[in-house]
Amino acid sequence: MSLSSIILEKANQYRDYTARNLSRLVQTKSLSTKEENVIHLIESMMKEAGFDEVFIDGLGNVIGRIGNGKKIIAIDGHVDTVDVGNINNWSFDPFSGEIKDGFVLGRGSVDQKGGVASFITAGKILKEIGLQNDVTVYFVGSIMEEDCDGLCWKFIVEEDKIKPDVVIVTEPTKCNIYRGQRGRMEIEVSFHGISAHGSAPERGKNAIYLAAHSLIEIEKLNERLMADEFLGKGSVTCSQIVSNSPSLCAVADYCRFHLDRRLTFGEDKKLAITQIEELVKPFDGKVEVLYYEETSFTGKKYGMEKYYPTWKLELDHPVIKKGIDAYKQLFNSEPIVDKWTFSTNGVVINGLFGIPVIGFGPGDEVYAHAPDEKCPVDDLFKASAFYTMFVQSF
């Protein structure tokens, strides 16, 4: 029997096991910075699956290891989720984890606990059939991604001193192969005016008007930003405005707005900041890149600038070619090779540290952060098989 046949048989054998594990993960609520319960659940699942080592690092990421070879492969899935939003938009309990009509239902099933359940199964299969290559495989249940993409991997590389040769990011791809994403930045622009009585606004300097004039120029900027043939166009939009004045009968003496800046290939922090500074300079605007710092459930305070670099691998990159070959061996068909619309931990793994990233995950990203989130059991089966095959052929 061929390696691909053995792997597919094992992945199918553990189809229900994978789905049940995902069900338990969905039932364990895990908002960002509050992932402790699900981290310990994953720790127990990894140990039950026979991983060689399982540990929780200082930030709170749970990391399982199989093998002790020279080449290092990591498979990453973040375990935190966003909240459910308006419960009336759901047709089922977001934390039921019910397995119904070929799907696992609930918040996080797609984004992205499905990837975690699938790689636990891959680890179980690898332990049963044995590693074929001189590799070390790390299975990473990472935290705080929804709050700050890549922060978890900044800690893993800089503090845990784990720097893989390749990382599989298990964000949802509908079991296609993804090789890039636009980056992003969170930018704040502030304006200081001079207050005056609202009955005589000409005596003051209205900070809201300064901000408004700037936003008109920023709206125009959005139309002329760079585009990349694969990743598409960069974008900028205002997502929040806050102002202050001595009273509601006075000219506003302060205003700030928040910009969501999406960066295509070829755009970086320096370019994006310079573009905004030039537009707000006539209105005395101050431009800042925001900083994220929070305390994880372990008590560790950690942070990073809210600049999440763009990344992509070319179609002929060895890691992408290896993924395509693994897919074809398993499923006897050509995979779709595409990109994510949203941001992932790849912003730090590849964007900051230059580690090659390949994306492959169960579920459709349209369900991410949406009501009635659900993940196909068939996708869980395919993902667990793909992770196993990629490791065995790396």
DSSP for residue 234: -
Helices (H), 293-345: 318-331
Residue written as token pair 């001595």: 246
Rounded CA Rg of the chain:
23
Structure tokens at 385: 């098989």
Residue written as token pair 């981290």: 39
DSSP for residue 197: B
Residue written as token pair 């196909």: 376
Q: What are the catalytic residues?
A: 80, 145
**Cβ-proximal residues to 52 (8 Å cutoff; 6+ apart), any chain:** 65, 66, 67, 68
C-alpha span between 203 and 170 (Å, rounded): 58
List phi, psi (to 5°) of 192: -115, 120
C-alpha span between 191 and 197 (Å, rounded): 19
Question: Could you tell me which of 363, 20, 318, 309 has the C-alpha nearest to residue 184?
Answer: 309
Distances in Å between the Cα of 61 and the Cα atoms of 35, 139, 143, 311 are 9, 10, 6, 23
Q: What is the DSSP string of 91-156?
A: SS-TT---EETTEEESTTIIIIIHHHHHHHHHHHHHHHH---SSEEEEEEEE-STTTSTTHHHHHH
